Amino acid sequence: MIDGYYPISKWEFMGRKTKPTLEEFSEIAESLSGFVLDQITTLARNGLHTYRNRERNLFVNWSKTNKIICIGIIQEMPVLDLGIVTHEIVPYAVEIFNRLSPTWQIGEELVRRSLEAALEGSKIIPQRRTN
pLDDT along the chain (131 residues), means of 10: 84 72 90 92 81 93 86 89 87 92 87 88 69 62
Q: What is the structure's pLDDT at 104?
A: 83
pLDDT for 131: 62
Task: From residue 18, give the alpha-carbon distance in Å to each of 22, 60, 63.
Answer: 10, 19, 12
Q: What's residue 13's pLDDT? A: 67
pLDDT of the residue at 126: 63
Note the pLDDT of residue 97: 93
Q: Write down the pLDDT at residue 41.
A: 84
Structural domains of the chain, ranges and CATH numbers in brackets: 2-121 (3.30.310)
pTM higher than 0.75: yes
